[in-house]
Amino acid sequence: MPLRSTGALLARALLLLLLLLLLSGAACTDPVSPEVVSVPGGQGTGMVATVDHVVDGDTVDLSFRGRPNERARLLGIDTPETVKPDSPVECFGPEASARAHELLAAGTEVVVQRDEEPRDRYGRLLVYLWRRSDGLFVNEALLADGYATVLSIEPNSTRRAQLAAAERAARSNRDGLWGACEDPGGR
């Protein structure tokens, strides 16, 4: 067989192999897939996201690698309202929003973990959040400091006991809204 024919045949075989690798996905990674990491404290896995904006004490806008932002609702907690249409600003609402801004400044990398239901009836992601820099469990921190009350809605209750313990401590110490508001649990 002439050398030229062998070279052409080899080039075609390599081209076919490269095409097959590209089609199978083995030759590249998906640039828009979120990075999956361990949740701080070894509590499973979560996806890495970046905080774009804090809406209020329990709602944030997040960006996952290469994707436009997604509105997310923190699971297991409820903070006093500040932005709900046709509703008054509730006691300790501005303070809860300010604390969420402190904990989750724009650009903060977080680890996002979901529970059973991925979204609520408004289309928001339902999430537990940890700051990636120091492992702070944000949902729990807002409860522990008295900026939120527990809101457990089945089937999203994986961390209910942990979150309830944080609320009990804040309530017994009269931290945050527990010392500032009348009947904060009955809002």
pLDDT digits (tens, 9 = 90+) for 105-136: 999 999 999 999 999 999 999 999 999 999 99
CB atoms < 10 A from the CB of 17, how many?
A: 11
pLDDT digits (tens, 9 = 90+) for 47-79: 999 999 999 999 999 999 878 789 999 999 999
Q: How far is Cα 42 from Cα 64, in angstroms, rounded to an integer?
A: 21
CATH topology of domain 36-186: OB fold (Dihydrolipoamide Acetyltransferase, E2P) (2.40.50)
Q: Give Cβ neighbours of residue 132 (< 8 Å, ≥ 6 apart).
A: 37, 48, 108, 109, 110, 111
Mean pLDDT computed over 37-49: 91
Q: Which residues are tagged catalytic?
A: 73, 81, 124
Mean pLDDT computed over 67-96: 92
Domain ranges within the chain, ordered by starting residue: 1-28, 36-186
Q: How far is Cα 19 from Cα 7, in angstroms, rounded to an integer?
A: 18
